[in-house]
Structure 1
Amino acid sequence: MILKASVSAELAGMRLDDGARQLFPELSKTQIRRIIDWGGCTISDALVRVASRQLREGDLISLGVMEPERCVEITYGKGDLLYEDGGYLAINKAAGLNSQRTPYQLKGTVEYAVDCYLKSLGSKEPARVIHRLDRGTSGVMFFPKHKKAATHISFLLKEGKVEKVYWALVADVPEQDQWTVDAPIAKLNKFRYGVALPGREARTAFRVITAGKGATLIEAHPFTGRTHQIRVHLAHNGLPIIGDATYGGDHAPRMMLHCRTMAFTSREGKEISATAPPDEAFRQVCRDFGIEIDQFQP
């Protein structure tokens, strides 16, 4: 939920937190300060993270109110990285985290944590989000460490030259061991996408890894990078991902979609790859269906 209000002449000169308390009486001052600290406050479309900032008449204040459980501090150190060299780093994004900042949140996102890590190295480069994972998806995310690296990997992603491998758990057994979905994807509403015309070209290859008791672990290779692509293509095949309520998946503690591996070639011809182990929640849901994934990990 985003709340908006303009600063009147009577509130001009007040501190941001005090003025916001007057404008949004449904929020406590503690809640307002948390929103400001976590990057959910803008004044006239500019991010403001200082509660004592003085208000001026006509300022448009926007506050993004998010659930308290999203306020999770995340940091990355060298020991947390899946890969790092002079041009790139890769992290294992946890399920439940936003890949990049939203109108509600800056702090507690992967983008912010990577930005802080780069600053700890003495870098003045920002964290550039050149690809995203949905909030409920875990796994490999690559970040370029400078502009030339960003330009290169962005080009590779656009041309489909970055290999991406996902694991997904679905509550059924596919009719085939291997198949490819070549079907356009279009936005249906604010939260859902679907196979529809007109839509953007989308192609995904699927392979059964193993079947358990009423569920199947599937490997997905997306050749294009459409929003919700794997989720939509599996649901289109009558195989919604377990935990993906948006597309009809059975209830689970998390959405059972994990970016297992990403690989590409650098500008210098170096082969770059990162592989992310699934978290314990993913492993446990697999166990619940009689699937032990350790045998499929290096």
Structure 2
Amino acid sequence: MILTARVDAELAGTRLDDAAKTLFPQYSKGEIRRIIDWGGCYLSQTLVRVASRTVKEGEEIALGIMEAERCIELAYKKEELLYEDKDFLAVYKAAGFNSQRTPYQLKGTVEYAVECYMKSIGLRDPSRVVHRLDRGTSGVMFFPKHKQAATLISNLLKDGKVQKTYWALVAGSPDQQSWKVDAPLGKVSKFKYGVALNGKPARTLFRVVGEGAGVTAVEAKPLTGRTHQIRVHLAHSGFPIIGDETYGGIPAARMMLHCRGMRFTGARGKVIEAFAPIDADFRAAAAEGIWEESAEQ
């Protein structure tokens, strides 16, 4: 939810947090300061994170309201990175974190945490989000360290030359050990996608990698990069992902979709790859020994 109000003559010259408290009395000053600090406040469409900023008459204050429980600090240390060289780095994105900034939040996103890390090692470039994982998905995210690397990986992604491997948990047992879904995807509502004849081409390869106790572990290799592609294609196959209630999955602690690995060829033919371990919730949802986590991709 985004709330907006305009600064009048009476509030002109006051602090941003004081003006916002007057304009949005339903929120405490502490809540407003939290919103400002976490990147959810815009002054005439410009992000402002300084509560003491002086406001002017006619300026519009916009507050992006996000649940306080989602304000979780996120930071990356060098030893926690999944991969790093002079051109790229890869991090583990945990389920529950946004990949990139939203109108409600900057701090606590993977994008912001990576930018803070890059600054800590002396880089001046911003963090560039060249691919995303849904908030409920965990796994590998790659970031370029400079503009040339961003152009390279963006082109590789566009041309389908970045190999991605996902793991998903579904209820039941597919009839086939492997199958391909070639079904175009289109938007069916604000936050939901579906198979649509006039949608964009989308292709995914699926393979069963383990079964047990009514749960099947599926490996997914998307050949295109559409929003919610794996989620929709599995639901279309009759096996929505556990925890993905948007597409008919049974409730769970989290959506059981994990980007296990990414691989591509960088400059001068260098193979670049990173793999991410599964978390405790994902492991708990799978039967014991359903697969070997160290299995080759």
TM-score calculated relative to the size of structure 2: 0.98
Q: How far off its partner does 1:281 sit? A: 1.1
Deviations 1:90-137 (A, max 9, x none): 011000000000000000000000000000011001000000000000
Question: Which letter maps to 2:250?
Answer: D
User: Where in structure 2 are the equivalents of 1:27-66 lying within 5 Å?
Assistant: 27-66=27-66
Q: How far off its partner does 1:268 sit? A: 1.6
Q: How far apart, in 2, do the equivalents of 1:236 and 1:4 lie?
A: 40
Q: How far off its partner does 1:172 sit? A: 1.4
Q: How far off its partner does 1:74 sit? A: 0.7
Counterpart of 2:293 in structure 1 is 296
Q: Is the 8 A contact 1:164 1:262 kept in 2?
A: yes
Q: How far off its partner does 1:296 sit? A: 3.4
Counterpart of 2:265 in structure 1 is 265
**Which runs of at least 4 in structure 1 moved beyond 6 Å after TM superposition?**
none
Deviations 1:4-61 (A, max 9, x none): 1111111111100000001001111000000000000001110000001111111111
Q: How far apart, in 1, do the equivalents of 2:147 and 2:250 lie?
A: 42
Counterpart of 1:92 in structure 2 is 92
Q: How far off its partner does 1:161 sit? A: 0.3
Q: How far apart, in 2, do the equivalents of 1:82 and 1:212 lie?
A: 30
Q: How far off its partner does 1:197 sit? A: 2.3
Q: How far off its partner does 1:285 sit? A: 1.1
Q: How far apart, in 2, do the equivalents of 1:27 and 1:293 lie?
A: 48
Q: Is the 8 A contact 1:208 1:219 kept in 2?
A: yes
Q: How far apart, in 2, do the equivalents of 1:40 and 1:83 lie?
A: 31
Number of equivalences: 295
Counterpart of 1:211 in structure 2 is 211
Q: How far off its partner does 1:198 sit? A: 1.2
Counterpart of 1:252 in structure 2 is 252
Q: CA RMSD in A?
A: 0.9
Counterpart of 2:83 in structure 1 is 83
Q: How far apart, in 1, do the equivalents of 2:66 and 2:167 lie?
A: 29
Larger mean Cα displacement after TM superposition, 128-137 or 67-76: 67-76
Q: How far off its partner does 1:291 sit? A: 3.7
Q: How far apart, in 1, do the equivalents of 2:3 and 2:172 lie?
A: 42
Counterpart of 2:116 in structure 1 is 116
Q: How far apart, in 2, do the equivalents of 1:294 and 1:222 lie?
A: 20
Q: How far off its partner does 1:292 sit? A: 2.5
Q: Is the 8 A contact 1:283 1:293 kept in 2?
A: no
Counterpart of 1:103 in structure 2 is 103
Q: Is the 8 A contact 1:186 1:198 kept in 2?
A: yes
Question: Which letter maps to 1:94?
Answer: A
Q: How far apart, in 1, do the equivalents of 2:269 and 2:218 lie?
A: 31
Counterpart of 1:161 in structure 2 is 161
Aligned to 1:296, the other structure's residue is in SS state: coil
Question: Which letter maps to 2:42?
Answer: T
Q: How far apart, in 2, do the equivalents of 1:291 and 1:197 lie?
A: 40
Q: How far off its partner does 1:154 sit? A: 0.3
Q: How far apart, in 2, do the equivalents of 1:181 and 1:200 lie?
A: 13
Question: Which letter maps to 1:136?
Answer: G
Q: Is the 8 A contact 1:243 1:253 kept in 2?
A: yes
Q: How far off its partner does 1:293 sit? A: 4.9
Q: How far apart, in 2, do the equivalents of 1:125 and 1:119 lie?
A: 8
TM-score calculated relative to the size of structure 1: 0.98
Q: How far apart, in 2, do the equivalents of 1:237 and 1:294 lie?
A: 22
Q: How far off its partner does 1:214 sit? A: 1.2
Q: How far apart, in 2, do the equivalents of 1:65 and 1:234 lie?
A: 33
Q: How far apart, in 2, do the equivalents of 1:268 and 1:67 lie?
A: 46
Q: Is the 8 A contact 1:283 1:292 kept in 2?
A: no
Counterpart of 2:229 in structure 1 is 229
Aligned to 1:186, the other structure's residue is in SS state: strand
For structure 1, the residue ranges without an aligned partner over 5 or more in a row are none
Q: How far apart, in 2, do the equivalents of 1:292 and 1:192 lie?
A: 33
